[in-house]
Amino acid sequence: MTAKNAFYAQSGGVTAVINASACGVIETARQHQDKIANVYAGRNGIIGALTEDLIDTGQESAENIAALRYTPSGGFGSCRYKLKSLEANRREYERLIEVFKAHDIGYFFYNGGGDSADTCYKVSQLSEKMGFPVQAIHVPKTVDNDLPITDNCPGFGSVAKYIATSTLEASFDVRSMCATSTKLFVLEVMGRHAGWIAAAGALVADQGIPVVTLFPEIEFDQDKFMAAVKAKVEAHGYCSVVVSEGCHWPDGRFLAEQGTKDAFGHAQLGGAAPVVANMVKEALGYKFHWAVADYLQRAARHLASKSDVEQAYALGKAGVEYALQGHNAIMPTVVRKSSDPYVWEIGEAPLSEVANVEKFMPRDFISEDGYGITDRCREYLYPLISGEDYPPYENGLPKYVTLENKAVPKKLDPFEV
């Protein structure tokens, strides 16, 4: 059988370890050049496939590809672009086939979250609906940790480690100043509908920190929240609050809603921390500081979780291996066998059961009062933030790689996205 080329791309918000998955895909493909001739990466996600803007990863040295394992963000550029259905936009699918044929692409690896799983699932149907043979494998990635079936998602463990650490360190700061100054610190974290990242901030309670956590799964009750904050400040002299960007009022309105939409049509969020901090100031008079973790939380490769890095690489590697075994329309998953000691293995899930499905925090992961986490949640979280995997340093800074990203020569006419 003649070797085919593979297409790989990154999609959605990037993470501290998505490049580790890319490393897993590319290094594994290079070990099977009798079946995968080369890996072409899409510049800026699926847009790179549509516009025939392909990167020849074969031009990168083995050292540069290996360095992806400890380099944050998306080495090939990412995007927020969701393919419509075949019926709604047949033109895009015909273009994909045109590009895949021109560059002899028989494998499609898409590295992303829920919306990306939907794109990958649609591409996987090109064989059945349009007669073009391509094997599409979704490589999971999302800091939100909200993909179904898999125990957890690459990217989450490192964000959780960063948020837990940052909440702990900032709380020590507040504790040292609370007698005469700041009594409240509010940290806003990502998580539109699922409170996994916020839950990581709640881990600091295990070190004696008074913390109130606001989850998207729990409707915001202003009076109850104020009472919780007041009780902790009166007992400890200070309090930290970890608020998910998706925290919302009983009518569904986000505390942080700005009235704008992102590229996927989701409400654009940002600003829950100052809303909460000012709310406390007006009601209780406490001096405060607040911060929005934003890009810092998902780019913090210097503090990545070792288990997260290992799983990100393993899932990229497994994606290639599944494709070589003839699989299509699946996503490799993490299957937890034990939490103590932490043991996991690779499984698989059909994309038909993954695309556009969100996994929320179980109610029994959240304390009865709605402001903390349970022991069951702790048992789930601690293995995911365990271990350190520091990047190399040079002159005091992490030494990350910037790829050459040489373009594959184009063969087709331009295409407007």
CB atoms near residue 315 (< 10 Å): 28
Q: Which value, in Å, is the radius of gyration of the alpha carbons in the chain?
A: 22
CB 384 within 8 A of CB 24: no
Which residues neighbour 56 within 8 Å (Cβ) at sequence distance 6 or greater?
Answer: 38, 40, 406, 407, 408
Question: Of 53, 118, 144, 146, which is the active-site residue?
Answer: 144
CA distance 232 to 417: 53
Instruction: Mark whether 34 is an active-site residue.
Output: no
CA distance 412 to 417: 15
CB atoms near residue 97 (< 10 Å): 17
Which residues share a beta bridge with 105? 5
Strand arrangement, sheet containing 54-56: 54-56, 36-42, 4-10, 105-112, 135-140, 330-339, 342-350
Q: Which of 215, 204, 207 is nearest to 167 (CA)?
A: 204
φ and ψ at residue 217, rounded to 5 degrees: -75, -15
The length of the chain is 417
- Residue carrying the six token digits 């505390």: 255
Torsion of CA 40, 348, 82, 98, to 10 degrees: 40
CA distance 258 to 276: 15
Q: Which residues are catalytic?
A: 144
